[in-house]
Amino acid sequence: MAITVSIVEDNDQLRGTLARVIGRAEGFKCVSQYPNAEAALAGLPKDNPEVVLMDINLPGMNGVECVRQLKQLAPNIQSVMLTVYEDTDNIFAALAAGASGYLLKRTKSAELLEAIREVHRGGSPMTTHIARKVTQSFQRVGPSPQPAENLSQREQEVLDCLSQGFLYKEIADKLGISYETVHTYIRRIYEKLQVRTRTEAVAKFLRR
């Protein structure tokens, strides 16, 4: 049986190229294509592909939020980020939102197809460069003298939202607090965990 794949990409030329690569490859079938997250969320649960290739920088809702919502609508669909972004914040946000893999757009066609096979088998494919960044992020974060358990209940709620890839404004809306209050909590979290970035804070949270 062919692996069914959908594509969410706003660049018409790239979206068409990806569709042709997948459609012509033995053992694969491109079942749908979407130029934005909103259309994808409306159509993907009905298309029910096994794997979705998801861009991050989409018009309107971004790809990370699309993955988070898609995971709730259709938990069996596996999402693989296909993006130009290499920064650790985007990587962790995407993985925390539910992405099963993270690839760069410069990935060669053969490697992309193998990554789709890998996620279909239950793996978590990543471009080698990206995998190294993830590993290094965890290696840089040593044991905390004050673990996450020492945070207040509200601070842990904020940190949990960060680990799921929520933006500051989304955290404020979810917890019913102001944007400025979110910043205050995050500053306290950084001080208690002795970290300087969102990625390091999330890494410590996930290592509890």
pLDDT band at 45 (very low <50, low <70, confident <90, very high): very high
Domain 3-137, what architecture? Answer: 3-Layer(aba) Sandwich (3.40)
pLDDT digits (tens, 9 = 90+) for 5-24: 999 999 999 999 999 999 99
Q: Are 63 and 40 in contact (CB under 8 A)?
A: no
Would the CATH topology of 3-137 be identical to that of 148-206? no
pTM reported for the whole predicted model: 0.68
pLDDT digits (tens, 9 = 90+) for 77-124: 999 999 998 877 788 888 888 898 899 999 999 999 999 998 998 888
Average pLDDT (137-161) is 69
Name the residue ranges covered by the structural domains of the chain. 3-137, 148-206
Looking at CATH, the fold of the domain delimited by 148-206 is given as: Arc Repressor Mutant, subunit A (1.10.10)
Q: Are 141 and 200 in contact (CB under 8 A)?
A: yes
- Which of left, alpha, beta for 189 (phi over 0: left; psi -120 to 50: alpha)? alpha
